[in-house]
């Protein structure tokens, strides 16, 4: 058994836990382990191949770390010795790694000195236990990352299993300036529809590069990209699954014809359209990440803009459910929603430096 830490953005922990509990039995044969929710992620103990497979099936987390060692450590010689004695050959396919150092409330505070001690320790380990030449010279093995965290003099040594952050799904080449990270988009879409049974149509009326639509479509499809652990351990085989909820059809609208032309998503019915000129047309679920007025200025007062947008969407599309991202500085008055609509939940998170709220509105 091994310990894993599944990291995710602050405030998305509960959703990440729900996703894990839902998907584990769908994709893996072993029983769901006990999961501990902590700030910024989830901790669990499981067989290594199961933990590695989580990289392929989870869409909300940002990175998955394999915990290698935890030990009190207050000085550089001790750190050097811990690293030098660790059995790296089981996990590494190169004799050098990229180090990520964080330290808090500890005697060891100088990142450069910490990194040097780790690099020296690893170097000396491999002097005594060299990797076979065949492995050392293999050109295809990717660089591995080791995370060193020292918190209140407790050292945690972890091997990164994800490589690139998990929002890189590996299947899309076009990402716009204002694209939402896929992990946030997955969290929003899951928050919006995870309790719905029958779902027919999904519309993003300002779809940009289509992140919401692709995340909704792929939520139950394993991520197809390479991971650093492919070089040293096979993940558990995944049971095939048809998914839990899927929309029958996906619609994207955007005012920018260049963006619409570039959209690579074959399952999307797309159109160039200005939301404020749209005609009544029903969609079951509507999700939207409008411009925030930071890079591109809005032509009316922001709170009026977001209120107008909301009423246009509710009146024109009459959705069963609507989700919208709005900067947290905008004080919305949800008491003024059209009849039969009610704000049911709010998910606050930090969208790359801008604090936003994802509001879920239900028809009742």
318 touches ligand SAM by CB under 6 A: no
315 touches ligand SAM by CB under 6 A: no
In the bound complex, which residue of the shown chain has the CB atom lying closest to ligand SAM? 208
Among 176, 222, 293, 327, binds ligand SAM (CB under 6 A): 176
276 touches ligand SAM by CB under 6 A: yes
Considering the complex, state which of residue 94 and residue 271 has its C-beta at the smaller distance from ligand SAM. 271
209 touches ligand SAM by CB under 6 A: yes
Considering the complex, state which of residue 208 and residue 323 has its C-beta at the smaller distance from ligand SAM. 208
Q: Give residues 238-257 in contact with ligand SAM (rule: CB under 6 A).
A: 253-256
Among 41, 208, 302, 319, binds ligand SAM (CB under 6 A): 208
Among 92, 178, 189, 203, binds ligand SAM (CB under 6 A): 178
Q: Give residues 35-64 in contact with ligand SAM (rule: CB under 6 A).
A: none
289 touches ligand SAM by CB under 6 A: yes
Among 259, 263, 310, 356, binds ligand SAM (CB under 6 A): 259
SS (H, E, C) the chain: CEEEEEECCCCCHHHHHHHHHHHHHHHCCCCCCCEEEECCEEEEEECHHHHHHHHHHCCCCCEEEEEEEEEECCCHHHHHHHHHHCCHHHCCCCCCCEEEEEEECCCCCCHHHHHHHHHHHHHHHHHHCCCCHHHHCCCCCCCCEEEEEEECCEEEEEEECCCCCCCCCCCCCCCCCCCCCHHHHHHHHHHHHCCCCCCCEEEECCCCCCHHHHHHHHCCCCCCCCCHHHHCCCCCCCCCCCCCCCCCEEEEEECCHHHHHHCCCCCEEEEECCHHHCCCCCCCEEEECCCCCCCCCCCCCHHHHHHHHHHHHHHHHCCCEEEEEEECCCCCCHHHCCCCEEEEEEEEEEECCEEEEEEEEEEC
291 touches ligand SAM by CB under 6 A: yes
* Residue 205 C-beta: closest distance to ligand SAM, Å: 6
**Of 109-117, 135-143, 149-157, 175-183, which part binds ligand SAM (CB under 6 A)?**
175-183
**Of 120-128, 159-167, 224-232, 270-278, which part binds ligand SAM (CB under 6 A)?**
270-278
221 touches ligand SAM by CB under 6 A: no
Instruction: Enumerate binding residues for ligand SAM (CB under 6 A).
Output: 176, 178-180, 205-206, 208-209, 211-212, 253-256, 259, 274-276, 289-291
């Amino acid at each position: 058994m091994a310990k894993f830490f599944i990291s995710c953005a602050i405030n998305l922990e509960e959703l990440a836990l729900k996703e894990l509990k839902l998907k584990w039995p769908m994709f893996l044969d072993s029983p769901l382990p006990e999961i501990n929710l902590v700030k910024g992620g989830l901790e669990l103990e499981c067989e290594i191949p199961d933990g590695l497979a989580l990289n392929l099936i989870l869409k909300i987390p940002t990175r998955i770390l394999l915990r290698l060692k935890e030990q009190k450590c207050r000085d550089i010689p001790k750190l050097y010795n811990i690293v030098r004695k660790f059995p790296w050959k089981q996990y590494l396919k190169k004799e050098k790694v990229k180090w990520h150092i964080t330290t808090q409330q500890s005697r060891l505070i100088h990142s450069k000195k910490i990194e040097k001690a780790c690099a020296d320790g690893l170097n000396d380990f491999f002097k005594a236990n060299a990797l076979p030449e065949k492995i050392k010279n293999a050109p295809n093995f990717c660089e591995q990352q080791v995370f060193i965290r020292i918190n209140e003099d407790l050292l945690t040594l972890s091997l990164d299993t994800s490589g690139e952050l998990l929002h890189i799904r590996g299947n899309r080449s076009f990402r716009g300036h204002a694209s939402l990270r896929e992990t946030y988009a997955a969290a929003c879409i899951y928050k919006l529809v995870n309790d719905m049974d029958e779902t027919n149509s999904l519309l993003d009326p300002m779809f940009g590069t289509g992140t919401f639509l692709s995340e909704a479509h792929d939520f139950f499809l394993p991520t197809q990209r390479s991971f650093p652990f492919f070089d040293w351990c096979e993940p558990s085989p995944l049971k095939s699954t048809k998914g839990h909820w899927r929309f029958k059809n996906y619609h994207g609208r955007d005012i920018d014809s260049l963006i619409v032309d570039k959209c690579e998503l074959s399952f999307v019915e797309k159109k160039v359209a200005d939301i404020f000129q749209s005609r009544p047309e029903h969609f079951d679920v509507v999700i939207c990440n409008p411009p925030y007025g930071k890079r591109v200025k809005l032509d009316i007062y922001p709170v009026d803009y977001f209120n107008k947008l909301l009423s246009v969407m509710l009146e024109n599309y009459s959705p069963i459910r609507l989700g919208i991202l709005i900067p947290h500085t905008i004080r919305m008055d949800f008491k003024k929603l059209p009849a039969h609509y009610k704000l049911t939940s709010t998910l606050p998170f930090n969208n790359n430096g801008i604090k936003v709220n994802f509001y879920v509105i239900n028809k009742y």
